[in-house]
Each structure stands twice: as C-alpha cells, then as structure tokens.
Amino acid sequence: SIQPGAVLAINVSPTTAMTGELAQLLARYPQERLVLELTEHAQVDDYDRLLEALTRLRSRGVCLAVDDAGAGFASLHHILLLSPDIIKLDISLVRDIHEDPVKRALACSLVTFAREIGSTIIAEGIETPDELATLADLGVPWGQGYHLGRPAPLPVL
C-alpha cells in the first residue's frame, strides 16, 4: 500500500506503458497517487497507441511525467505529443547550471513552457546549493537530488 500523503512514482518505458499488464498492476493502487515517469530510452513507433494507453490511465487519475527533459530529442517529442502533468529536467541540464548560461536559458524556456501548458516542473539531480539557488531563481518549484536528500531505507522515510 502507499502511505497516506505519499505518491508512488514509477519509471516506465513507452513500450511498457502500452501493455495491458501495466494497467492491471496499477489497478491495485489509488490511481490519484500514482505518477508514471515516461523514460526516453526506447523509440516510440506508434504514438497513437501510446497516447491511447496513457489517456486511459490518466482518465483514472494517474499522473504522467516525462523524464529526462533536456537530455535529448525523444523527451521533448514526448512532451509535445503527450502534454504531461509533470516535466522532469534531466540531471545533465541541472548539473552546474549556475555556471552555464546556455543551460540556464534552456531551463528557463522549459519552465515557461511548462507553466503555459499547465504542467509542473521538477529538477532532477540537484547536488549543490548553487544549483538549487539557480533553479529556484528560474522558477523551478520542485527538485530532487543528493543536496535535498539521500536515498534512505523505507522506515526512515
């Protein structure tokens, strides 16, 4: 079961998202507390089929996140075609963002884009106070990474 107030985020490939088995597996959990993080590591050959599968899950309350935004073409293509609830900035964009004006410009554009389409934006891999401060200045409201908290055993969480 999912603890009260917690959300369960699950990384899935587009191929996995299109299977009926995923929907069956997720059915045992409160749908409104699930987040599917769609990865970009597999090519999508049939976006219509993927969109249909994700639309069914989202209609039951499951949130959709596109993982690794800014890391490559696939994640941006996912964002454009799938209108996710959450956009996760990739660690490669976050790392040393305070020292790189190009990374800051791209992150700023993604923050504005997310706001315009009604998505939430989360930065992955925040490892320093400077990265956190820069992302906060850019308007990134959520983050994850070693600077914010290390992995911990379940009882500690």
Give the list of residues 6+ apart from residue 127 with CB closer than 8 angstroms, or none: 95, 145, 146, 147
Place of tokens 């996912």: 78
**pLDDT-derived band at 152, boundaries 50, 70, 90:** confident
Domains, the chain, in order of start with CATH, read 8-143 (3.20.20.450)
Highest mean pLDDT among 4-8, 64-68, 80-84, 130-134: 130-134
Q: What pLDDT was estimated at residue 143?
A: 95
DSSP H helices, 11-138, are 14-17, 20-26, 47-59, 73-82, 91-94, 101-117, 129-138
37 and 67 Cβ atoms separated by less than 8 Å: yes
- Tell me the per-residue pLDDT of 30-51, one tens digit each, with 9 for 90 and over: 999 999 998 866 677 888 999 9
Place of tokens 């308007």: 139
pTM of the model: 0.87
Question: Does 130 or 74 have the greater pLDDT score?
Answer: 130
- Tell me the per-residue pLDDT of 54-110, one tens digit each, with 9 for 90 and over: 999 999 999 999 888 877 666 777 888 889 999 999 999 999 999 999 999 999 999
Q: What pLDDT was estimated at residue 62?
A: 95
In this model, does residue 157 exceed pLDDT 60? no
